[in-house]
Amino acid sequence: MLYQEDKSIVANTDGIIQFKIVYWGPGQAGKTTNFHRLKEIFDLVRISKGYSIETTDGRTLWQDAMFLSYKLTLGDVRLALIVQVVTCTGQERFLSTREYVLQGADGIVFVADSGGDMMEQNKRSFRELIDTLKKKNLPFVVQLNKRDLEGAIPIEFFKKQLGLPLEEKYDDDTLVVYPANAIKGDNVIACFRDLMFQVLYNYLTGA
């Protein structure tokens, strides 16, 4: 169990569903910024503050244990939904920690960097993710962060480099790439919300 049962959370419910969402991507692409924006936005439904472990040079190794709680009704069943949000390091020398953090994950937000000199790092990190997902059937969304940068890479070029569909949206109306500015919070919620819909769908359909 990811979160020890809290009677105030499960009161008047018939059970608990727990999910784990992981933020993955190259170093300094904005995973930690997404994490902090979610903490601010979901302040009223947070049941923990989260904690972080950093390397000696101040880079995030991982941020963990920010739990969000919701109550939802499916037919006549009332459930408590607990979501654990985790970020993992983008530094290549810590690849083994990324694989550890991914254990037990139900969905992934891939955060890429719009910087013109970051395309190779984006591609390498995305390849690592896809290789890892060959062993798992996990939904993911792609966020292209830092869209406010001068000389930000074009979204169509980014899609081609990562081998993503060139259309704006998939058939389910979710975006192929979410342009974002995590510092301002732009599209932070949209990425999280649309991924959660996919995770819930997979859970309810047994996908």
pLDDT at 114 (0 to 100):
98
Helical packing angle, 188-205 and 31-41, nearest 10°? 80
Q: Which residue has better confidence, 122 or 98?
A: 122
pLDDT at 169 (0 to 100):
97
Average pLDDT of span 32-61: 65
Average pLDDT of span 132-146: 91
pLDDT at 5 (0 to 100):
45
51 pLDDT more than 60: no
pLDDT at 111 (0 to 100):
97
The model carries a pTM of: 0.84
Average pLDDT of span 166-177: 96
**Chain mean pLDDT for the chain:** 82
Listed residue (79, 69, 83) closest to 16, CA to CA: 79
Domains of the chain, earliest start first: 12-205 (3.40.50.300)
The mean-pLDDT minimum among 18-32, 77-91, 93-107, 180-194 falls in 93-107
- Residue 101 confidence class, pLDDT cut points 50, 70, 90: confident
Three-state secondary structure call for residue 10:
helix
Give the bridge partners for 140, in sequence order.
108
7 pLDDT more than 80: no
Average pLDDT of span 135-163: 95
Listed residue (166, 163, 108) closest to 141, CA to CA: 108
Tokens of 182: 């995590």
